[in-house]
Amino acid sequence: MKGFVQSVGRPSAPLHAAAHSHHPWPDVTLAAQELAWRDAARLLDRKWDHIFESIIPAAQAHIGRQLNLPDPATIAFAPNTHSLVLRILSCLPTQKPVRILTTSSEFMSFSRQIVRLEEDGLAFVTRISAEPFENFENRFAAAAHTGAHDLVFLSQVFFDSGFAIRDLAKLVAAVPDKDTFVVIDGYHGFMAIPTDFGALADRAFYLAGGYKYAMAGEGACFLHCPPGYGPRPRDTGWYAGFSALEGGNNSVGYATDGSRFLGATFDVSALYRFNAVQDWLSQQNLSVADMLKHVRSIERIFLAEIDKLRAPISSSMLVVSDETRRGRFLGFRTKDAGAITAKLAAQNIIVDHRGDRLRIGFGIYHNEDDALRLAHAIAG
């Protein structure tokens, strides 16, 4: 795939098969990074006018298009998802411990934080086991239907297995109390699998970022904020006051769009990179569905080869064997996950693992030869 010369086209570059984690940056991001510098040097303090009038609206429009949002202005940005999680938590009741429904497979931006709240008696948390996957959606919907929660939080695609929720609308609709916050962590879904969030935009938050499949690197995280939910987050910074539309001299004012969830100063060069990648994908006529189709073809070649070679891992060890229920990486359950990761690292090949889950992710820059090379490296 042309466009990745800087990252993966050099002889010394590793074979990077962890596109579910860090993703190589397309070459257009170099010019974008330089443009961020030049704008800062040229505009000085006035760069913020340019950022809020041009760079941020462009990024919002790209996300709105990818998610089919009715109003891109519902998008707020932050340097990481954890700061956005804190802002959401700051909207919840304080007079009693908050009641949270979630799963056993959430990433640490959320899971570590709520464990800490539990330690101090500030949260009561119900965790629904992700497995067995076959009946997860029914089990989670039944738990949500009890209506005993201030916050319902779950991943679109689980980071430790790749299992993808098929019917997000069903799970959101199962929450009976309209005041309950519903948050979908889309970090392994955004730009990985086609996602139409339009029908849920008025009811649920959507949390994701540019580090992984959006190929924009760190610092470009975002939150879609449904209208009316969390009108005045307690965790707030001066960015949230840029376009405040309500509140007098004696109160902290907030806008009604997504900017109410903004924090404070952060490095906006990530949004320059994000916009450049999105523009490049449009120029290449590459949709999320197109990229997924390419990755699936590489996955099938790789799986067929490891089975043929009788490698230490096989297709029978996939945590999620049905590719229609899988995000954009392969998860293998094996006690040798750590050893295989280390073995490949010694050969300048990058994969990763979470406990006994070996994770392998292909991207649009991979081809059939890469899949075969990886299979033979594992089998050798």
- What confidence tens digit (pLDDT) does each residue in 296-355 have? 999 999 999 999 999 999 999 999 999 999 999 999 999 999 999 999 999 999 999 999
Q: Determine the average pLDDT of the residues in 236-257.
A: 76
Domain boundary residue, one of 281, 305, 323: 281
pLDDT at residue 2 in the model: 67
Q: Determine the average pLDDT of the residues in 132-140.
A: 97
Is there a single domain that holds both residue 125 and residue 190?
Answer: yes
Confidence of residue 249 (pLDDT cuts 50, 70, 90): low
pLDDT over 70 at 148, yes or no:
yes
pLDDT at residue 22 in the model: 86
Q: Determine the average pLDDT of the residues in 142-155.
A: 97
pLDDT over 80 at 10, yes or no:
no
CA-based nearest residue to 151, from 131, 128, 122, 125: 125
Is there a single domain that holds both residue 183 and residue 226?
Answer: yes
**Distance from the Cα of residue 276 to its chain's centroid:** 18
CA dist list (Å): 227 to 74, 224, 260, 342: 7, 9, 10, 47
pLDDT at residue 67 in the model: 98
Residue 6: inside a domain: no
Residue 15: inside a domain: no
Residue 4: inside a domain: no
Is there a single domain that holds both residue 246 and residue 291?
Answer: no
Is there a single domain that holds both residue 107 and residue 216?
Answer: yes
Is there a single domain that holds both residue 218 and residue 361?
Answer: no
Q: For residue 223, report the phi and psi dihedrals to the nearest 5 degrees.
A: -135, 120
Q: Determine the average pLDDT of the residues in 267-294.
A: 97
379, containing H or E segment: helix 368-379
The amino acid sitting at 245 is L
Separation between Cα atoms, residue 78 and residue 113, nearest integer Å: 17
Confidence of residue 283 (pLDDT cuts 50, 70, 90): very high
The proportion of the chain whose per-residue pLDDT surpasses 70, expressed as a percent, equals 95
For residue 371, what is the domain's CATH number?
3.90.1150.10
Residue 370 belongs to domain spanning: 287-379
Residue 44: inside a domain: yes
pLDDT at residue 25 in the model: 92
pLDDT at residue 245 in the model: 45
Question: What's the total number of domains in the chain?
Answer: 2
Q: Determine the average pLDDT of the residues in 174-203.
A: 98
Is there a single domain that holds both residue 214 and residue 356?
Answer: no
Is there a single domain that holds both residue 200 and residue 53?
Answer: yes
Is there a single domain that holds both residue 232 and residue 369?
Answer: no
Round to the nearest angstrom and report the end-to-end CA distance of the chain. 27
Residue 20: inside a domain: no
Is there a single domain that holds both residue 180 and residue 229?
Answer: yes
For residue 63, what is the domain's CATH number?
3.40.640.10
Confidence of residue 5 (pLDDT cuts 50, 70, 90): low
Domain boundary residue, one of 248, 265, 281: 281
Is there a single domain that holds both residue 191 and residue 324?
Answer: no
Is there a single domain that holds both residue 69 and residue 164?
Answer: yes
Residue 13: inside a domain: no
Residue 77: inside a domain: yes
pTM above 0.75, yes or no: yes
pLDDT at residue 71 in the model: 98
Confidence of residue 379 (pLDDT cuts 50, 70, 90): very high
pLDDT over 70 at 244, yes or no:
no
pLDDT at residue 7 in the model: 54
Domain boundary residue, one of 243, 265, 281: 281
pLDDT over 90 at 176, yes or no:
yes
Residue 240: inside a domain: yes
Separation between Cα atoms, residue 4 and residue 365, nearest integer Å: 7
Is there a single domain that holds both residue 297 and residue 229?
Answer: no
